[in-house]
Amino acid sequence: MKNGITPVIYYCNPNIYPREEYEIRKNECTRYAEALGLEIVDADYDHGNWLREVAGMESEPERGGRCLKCFKLRLLRTAQFAAERGIKVISTTLASSRWKSLDQINEAGRWACAEIPPDDSVIWWDQNWRKGGLQERRLQILKEYDFYNQLYCGCEFSIRKDDQNTGE
């Protein structure tokens, strides 16, 4: 693609609720990937396992412990996928959302990559996707492709009416 890098999109979002919301977001991502000629891999929707993993954290606020746990679960699966495919560097679109903690995302990404055996090592790219014109580019892409506007992070615990930190 560009600079000798061809991205592969690994769609790993077992946190998204309900299933219809998951499908809408996956279809939007697929539409974009196809427009760019990129491969997209669906990690499969396993919301039940995700719920078991975050059990007891349902009342955590946005940017709290539940979010960190969620990021770790999803980025570990991403790092494992990358190692299996021989992909050496991973990042995430989570880092472009103003609603998410960049520190938590980077902590989860570094942790996930550290869990991969040295022979299959994967590097976490801690690019700040909100600076250097990247946020403006993100907004331009959203408008250009007329993307669906998400009104909450995805998990059912972020849909609270009293929560001011919903939306993407």
Number of domains in the chain: 1
User: 143 is written with which tokens?
Assistant: 């408008």
120 falls within a domain = yes
Q: What is the pTM of this model?
A: 0.89
Instruction: Identify the CA nearest to 111 among candidates 98, 124, 95.
Output: 124
Buried b (16+ CB within 10 A) or exposed e, 56-94: eeeebebeeebbbbbbbbbbbbbbbbbbeeebeebbbeb
Q: Is residue 71 part of a domain?
A: yes
pLDDT tens per residue across all 168 residues of the chain: 678 889 999 999 999 999 999 999 999 999 999 999 999 999 999 999 999 999 999 999 999 999 999 999 999 999 999 999 999 999 998 888 878 999 999 999 999 999 999 999 999 999 887 888 877 887 888 888 888 878 788 999 988 654 444 444
**Is 163 domain-assigned?**
no
Length of the chain: 168
- Please indicate, yes or no, if residue 150 is contained in any of the structural domains: yes
Q: Where are the alpha helices (DSSP H) in 38-149?
A: 47-53, 65-85, 102-114, 134-144
Where in the sequence is the domain holding 68, given as residue range(s)?
8-158
165 lies in some domain: no
